[in-house]
Amino acid sequence: MKVIFGGVRGTSCVAQPEFSRFGGDTTSLLVEGSAGGRILIDAGTGIRQLGERIAAAGSESRALLLMTHYHLDHVMGLPSLPLLYQPGASLLMASPPRAGRTMEKVVRQIMAQPYWPVQMEDLHASIRFLKWKDVAPKAPARFGEFDIRWCSVHHPGGCTAYRVEERESGASLVFATDIEWALSSPKEKKTFLKLCTEPVPANLLVMDGQYNRRGYAPFKGWGHSTWEDTVDVARETGVGTLLITHHAPRNTDQQLRSLEGLVQKAFARAGLARAGQEVSL
């Protein structure tokens, strides 16, 4: 199983040279299985490059798109996803409802006039929406060679964390962007820790660590964690590797490299995610 990062920036994309090493695109991630299955998570501006990678498979292109929530930085790249305009491509979309809004309703709004010139009915790909509940069933959802579990995490308006497992290899990823660990209730923490550890600790935890504890106070309630929180979670759950994501748009490459040094001193199997990075599990 391979994990490819399309975008790792939070809130807004940035394009200046001093942000190029870690990347300026907003959140999107691709999971590729050894049997050819592909799962996209979130549709920030980084989804375009990931979609081009999938589209290279030609008419057999097929993927599942999962959404954590619908804030603009996580959906703004959807209209530029190449698969939508590729004849013969197949795209499943799934997400638990948020505030009574289904994924189908939100996607149709994003692709509607006056926001986008090409309407859903005019897209070349075959698109189907799956109806998932907010609380994951006891049995995981299945897509190709993958098992998928999820839980709600603390964020304004709600957000979903996902666990993706490849059945044959046992490789597993937990993806938790836009989670505010400090304000999470005991129940929210318990549920998320369970997602990270059952049936076994995840090989890779990708978690929001936009702030540090020293500078967190002005942003309390905004829905994001500190890097120190992510290290605490990694230690408690025993995950194999921690990669911190959702970098603040103001943080340059130099600042993020300095931060990564602090993170690795605190937890040796940790780092900061970079756009274009590939991790084999």
Q: Each residue's pLDDT tens digit in the chain (281 positions)?
A: 999 999 999 999 999 999 999 999 999 999 999 999 999 999 999 999 999 999 887 657 889 999 999 999 999 999 999 999 998 899 999 998 887 888 999 999 999 999 999 989 999 999 999 988 766 667 899 999 999 999 999 999 999 999 999 999 999 999 999 999 999 999 999 999 999 999 999 999 999 999 999 999 999 999 999 999 999 999 999 999 999 999 999 999 999 999 999 999 999 999 999 999 999 99
In the chain, the number of structural domains is 1
- Quote the Cα angle for 99-104-106, to 5°: 55
> Rounded to whole angstroms, what are the CA distances from 87 to 26, 48, 125?
27, 17, 5
pLDDT for the residue 30: 98
| Among 203, 200, 195, 140, residue whose Cα is nearest residue 171 | 203
pLDDT for the residue 136: 63
CATH number of the structural domain spanning residue 133: 3.60.15.10
pLDDT for the residue 135: 61
Radius of gyration of the chain (CA): 18
Tokens for 265, please give them: 């001193």
Enclosing domain of residue 46: 2-280
Buried b vs exposed e over 204-238: b needs ≥16 C-beta within 10 Å?
bbbbbbbbeeeebeeeeeebbbbbbbbbebbeebe
Tokens for 279, please give them: 């991790």
Cβ contacts of 121 within 8 Å, gap of 6 or more: none
Say if residues 23 and 276 touch (Cβ distance below 8 Å).
yes
**Dist CA 23 CA 4 (whole Å):** 13
Tokens for 151, please give them: 């839980």
pLDDT for the residue 137: 65
pLDDT for the residue 214: 95
Cis? peptide before 82, omega within 30° of 0: no
Instruction: Decide the pairing of beta strands 90-95 and 126-131.
Output: parallel
pLDDT for the residue 22: 97
Q: What's the pTM value of the predicted model, to 2 decimals?
A: 0.96
- Count H helices and E strands in the chain, helices first: 6, 14
> Tokens 């289904």, residue?
102
